[in-house]
């Protein structure tokens, strides 16, 4: 950020922004949430925004083959509202708060295809940047450091072995970690990685100035400690946390 507070993301960003990007199940959500809590700043889960639009489209019965033609007006009419809160953001659909609805298998299976629609990405870009107008932020997703906050004060890119990521996903869901289950989950994750990395708009990639953290052999506490230490080491009067 420059001393005037003006950034490539537009004027009036308030406070430092830390971005945490990486592939599915690399540990982004739990890490970003805990880093934000330890630093006492807000958390933006950008994947939840893509999930909310997916949920709303399914709820309103818009056929998936029409998603590619969606325009800003169509997205506006879905009535997905994003509001700032003390901890980050709250998402509503037609005034109803969305939470566990965002993580169902039905939404998870379709969200990548919506995330490749460029009108969707532009529509969400503004909403994500708006979140930084309410104070310091840990922003988590796939393109936080590369597209949404190119001037972020600290950019982290998390990676982990595919098999380790598959095990984490199974553990998260309370399922057995047998060899077949691990292999199937690894295949699903690899497919999502490929979709996210090869789409033409805002593909998943490490920003040049991001710090890569391999979480394969790290506990959550260790990952968080490293990032918090880097965040506390930021210098410059407007980047101090
Ligand atoms: O992190 P997640 O699993 O909640 O993300 C859901 C989907 O949204 C996933 O397919 C990638 C996409 N996504 C994206 O394209 N850009 C982001 N900044 C965040 C998520």
Q: What is the pLDDT of residue 7?
A: 64
Tens of pLDDT, residue by residue over 16-54, are 999 999 998 898 999 999 999 999 999 999 999 999 999
| Interacting residues of 85 by C-beta distance below 8 A, sequence separation 6+ | 42
Q: pLDDT at residue 4 above 50?
A: no
Q: Is the CB of 128 under 6 A from ligand 1?
A: no
Q: What is the pLDDT of residues 144-197, one digit of tens each?
A: 999 999 999 999 999 999 999 999 999 988 999 999 999 999 999 999 888 888
Residue 9 lies in a domain: no
Residue 235 has pLDDT above 70, yes or no: no
pLDDT of residue 3 exceeding 60, the answer is no
159 versus 11: the higher-pLDDT residue is: 159
> Looking at the domain assignment, is residue 3 inside a domain?
no
21 lines ligand 1 (CB under 6 A): no
Least confident of 39-43, 83-87, 99-103, 234-238: 234-238
Q: Assign 112 a pLDDT band (cuts: 50, 70, 90).
A: confident
pLDDT of 238 above 90:
no
103 lies in a domain?
yes
pLDDT at 11: 52
What CATH number has the domain bearing residue 69? 3.40.50.300
What's the gap in Å between 49 CA and the centre of ligand 1? 8
CA separation for the pair 116, 220 (Å, rounded): 30
The total number of structural domains that make up the chain:
1
Dist. CA 142 → ligand 1 center (Å): 6
22 within a domain of the structure (yes/no): yes
* Residue 142 CB less than 6 A away from ligand 1: yes
Average the pLDDT over 59-83 and give the result: 96
SS3 70: coil
Q: Which atom of ligand 1 approaches the CA of 112 most closely?
A: 10
Look at 97-106, 107-116, 186-195, 230-239 and tell me which has the smallest mean pLDDT. Answer: 230-239
**Residue 168: domain span:** 17-220
Q: Can you give the pLDDT at residue 10? A: 64
Closest-CA residue to 204 (of 151, 152, 154, 140): 140
Tell me, yes or no, whether 241 lies in a domain: no
Cα of 180 vs centre of ligand 1, distance in Å, is 26
CA of 122 to the centre of ligand 1 (A): 14
Looking at ligand 1, which residue's alpha carbon is closest to its atom 11? 112
In 3-state terms the chain splits into helix, strand, coil percentages (rounded to 5) of 50, 15, 35
pLDDT digits (tens, 9 = 90+) for 194-228: 888 888 887 888 999 999 999 999 999 999 999 99
Is 225 inside any structural domain?
Answer: no
Nearest CA residue ID for atom 4, ligand 1: 47
Quote the pTM value. 0.89
Would you say residue 5 lies in a domain?
no
Whether 79 maps to a domain, the answer reads yes
Look at residue 202 in the predicted model and tell me its pLDDT: 79
Q: Assess whether pLDDT exceeds 50 at residue 237.
A: no
């Amino acid at each position: 950020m420059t001393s005037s507070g003006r950034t490539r993301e537009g004027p009036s960003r308030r406070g430092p922004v830390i971005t945490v990007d990486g592939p599915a199940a690399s540990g982004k959500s739990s890490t970003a949430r805990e880093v934000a809590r330890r630093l006492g700043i807000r958390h933006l889960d950008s994947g939840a925004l893509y999930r909310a639009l997916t949920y709303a489209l399914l709820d309103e019965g818009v056929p998936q083959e029409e998603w590619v033609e969606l325009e800003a007006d169509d997205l506006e009419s879905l009535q997905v509202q994003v509001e700032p809160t003390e901890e980050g953001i709250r998402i509503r659909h037609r005034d109803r708060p969305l939470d566990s609805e965002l993580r169902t298998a039905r939404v998870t299976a379709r969200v990548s295809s919506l995330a490749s629609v460029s009108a969707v990405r532009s529509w969400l870009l503004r909403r994500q940047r708006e979140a930084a107008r309410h104070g310091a932020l840990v922003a988590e997703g796939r393109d936080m450091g590369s597209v949404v906050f190119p001037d972020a004060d600290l950019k982290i890119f998390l990676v982990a072995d595919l098999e380790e990521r598959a095990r984490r996903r199974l553990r998260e869901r309370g399922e057995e970690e047998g060899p077949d289950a691990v292999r199937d989950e690894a295949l699903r994750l690899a497919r999502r990685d490929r979709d996210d990395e090869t789409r033409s708009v805002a593909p998943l990639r490490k920003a040049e100035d991001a710090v890569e953290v391999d979480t394969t052999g790290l506990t959550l506490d260790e990952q968080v400690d490293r990032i918090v230490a880097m965040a506390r080491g930021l210098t410059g009067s407007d980047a101090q946390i």
